[in-house]
Amino acid sequence: MIYLLLGQDNLAKEQKIAEIKAKALPSQESLSFNYQVLYGHHLDNDSLAQALTALPVASERRVVVIRQVDELVAAQKNKIIELHKQAKNQLIIILEAESLDDKDLLTKKFGQLISTCFFSPKARYNAFDLMRVIASHRKVEALELLDELLKGGDHPLQIIAGMFWKWNNDKKQMPSQVFRKGLLAFKQADFNIKRSQLKPEYALEVLVIKLCLP
């Protein structure tokens, strides 16, 4: 199976990859032995061949993610096509890029074998979206969303202000003990940022992790 994930919504692409992994490699053991990520901008031919020819361990298949696939040279794309044919049903390849020409070698050769998913930019995420993820205790996704906000130019104090507003607004929906515990975490994060006790990004990461705890 071949997946092609295109677009600029990186968080949505990561969610799709996580979904594919969960179905193909449901146990931690199978995931440890059979999941590999490669990057097109500095990928050598030997590493590519080794990843695509390795046999599954304690699983029926392997999952290989190749990011920035648009930066691969033609010889490497041909190698992917060749080795995928040999692997048959033992290999799931996830190709990722912001964009890929319809006439690209991979899309032309794989044709209908490839499952293409487009992740167009959505309305920008904000601190309220982050708090909704935190409320579900999805720590990894929350940290990824925090990273998206910071990379998008949101100021740390702006982020924490929005997070606190949402936390305070939702206090009736949570046990008082949980609310007070979160309140202390907010005060500590605010202190760390304003007094330069930690880098603002790290202070926010610590806050997110604390709020995600059950």
Give residue 202's pLDDT. 96
Task: Please tell me what DSSP assigns to residue 122.
Answer: -
Query: Which residues are bridge partners to 96 per DSSP?
Result: 5
pLDDT greater than 80 at residue 88: no
If one counts every other C-beta atom within 10 angstroms of the C-beta of residue 9, the result is 19
Greater model confidence, 87 or 94: 94
Give residue 123's pLDDT. 58
Give residue 15's pLDDT. 92
CA–CA separation, 138 vs 169, rounded Å? 20
Give residue 55's pLDDT. 94
**Domain definitions of the chain by residue range:** 2-119, 127-212
pLDDT greater than 70 at residue 197: yes
Give residue 121's pLDDT. 67
CA 86 to each of CA 6, 37, 51, 98: distance values in angstroms, whole numbers, following the listed order: 25, 20, 13, 28
* Nearest in space to 152 (alpha carbons), one of 171, 129, 172: 129
207 confidence band (pLDDT: 50, 70, 90) = very high
Strands in the chain per DSSP E = 2-7, 35-39, 62-67, 91-97, 114-119
Mean of pLDDT over the chain: 91
Q: Is the Cβ–Cβ distance between 59 and 25 less than 8 Å? A: yes
184: phi then psi, degrees, rounded to nearest 5? -65, -40
Give residue 112's pLDDT. 72
Query: What percent of the chain shows pLDDT beyond 90?
Result: 66
Max CA-CA distance within the chain? 61
Give residue 85's pLDDT. 87
pLDDT in tens, 97-151: 998 887 888 888 887 788 888 887 655 788 998 998 898 888 888 999 999 899 8
Strands in 85-186 per DSSP E = 91-97, 114-119
Query: What percent of the chain shows pLDDT beyond 70?
Result: 99
Q: Which CATH class for the 2-119 domain? A: alpha beta
Q: Is the Cβ–Cβ distance between 143 and 205 less than 8 Å? A: yes
167 confidence band (pLDDT: 50, 70, 90) = very high
Give residue 204's pLDDT. 96
Give residue 77's pLDDT. 94
pTM score: 0.58
pLDDT greater than 90 at residue 36: yes
65 confidence band (pLDDT: 50, 70, 90) = very high
185 confidence band (pLDDT: 50, 70, 90) = very high
Strand order in the sheet with 91-97: 35-39, 62-67, 91-97, 2-7, 114-119
